[in-house]
């Protein structure tokens, strides 16, 4: 069980290049890790796991930015695979408006999309004007009502 603390902020901020190199404009060229059909790695910005029963995944973008199609497909397929295996899972994509050198408070980011499995696409919830924390708490409350131990 984690205490939720980051003990070394500098190490947490290190970029992982996986056989690539970072260009001056901060783009990463994936040379060694690029796979068939041009597949390259993606990341998960944050993740909560509740006793191997339910999972929440987060992708946080600068306000107005969207995921590329490969990252979007990866999250949809991950959630669908977990659901197919009998696990409850939620994906949240949210926006922040912080300058690049500022910390981003995940709980206050505004939610753009959610996804919880077997739909055709992400659900656009931007007009609801709800934070990430709202959806976390709603998910937890719903799991409790379903007698899923979180």
Q: Is the pLDDT of residue 148 over 70?
A: no
- Contact 107/133 with Cβ under 8 angstroms? yes
CB 97 within 8 A of CB 75: no
74-116 tens-digit pLDDT = 999 999 999 999 999 999 999 999 998 899 999 999 999 999 9
* 80, containing H or E segment: helix 69-84
Please indicate whether residue 10 or residue 43 has the higher confidence score (pLDDT): 43
Q: Which pTM value belongs to this model?
A: 0.80
Tracing tokens 């290049």 back to the chain, one arrives at 17
CA distances to 5, 63, 72, 95 from 108, rounded to whole Å, are: 18, 13, 22, 9
Instruction: Sketch the domain layout of the chain as residue ranges.
Output: 1-41, 43-145
pLDDT tens readout for residues 27-55: 555 555 555 666 767 889 999 999 988 99
Least confident span in 38-42, 58-62, 135-139, 141-145: 38-42
The per-residue pLDDT for 109 is 96
pLDDT of residue 112: 97
At residue 118, the pLDDT reads 83
């Amino acid at each position: 069980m984690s205490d939720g603390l980051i003990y070394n902020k500098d190490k947490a901020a290190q970029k992982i290049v996986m056989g690539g190199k970072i260009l001056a404009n901060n783009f990463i060229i994936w040379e060694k890790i690029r796979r068939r059909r041009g597949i390259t790695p993606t990341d998960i910005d944050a993740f909560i796991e509740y006793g191997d029963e339910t999972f929440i995944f987060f992708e946080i973008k600068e306000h107005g930015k969207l995921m590329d199609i490969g990252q979007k497909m990866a999250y949809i397929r991950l959630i669908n695979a977990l659901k197919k295996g009998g696990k409850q899972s939620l994906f949240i994509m949210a926006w922040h408006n912080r300058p690049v050198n500022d910390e981003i408070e995940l709980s206050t980011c505004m939610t753009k999309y959610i996804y919880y499995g077997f739909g055709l696409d992400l659900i656009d919830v931007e007009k609801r004007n709800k934070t990430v924390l709202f959806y976390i708490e709603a998910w937890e409350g719903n799991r409790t009502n379903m007698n899923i131990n979180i």
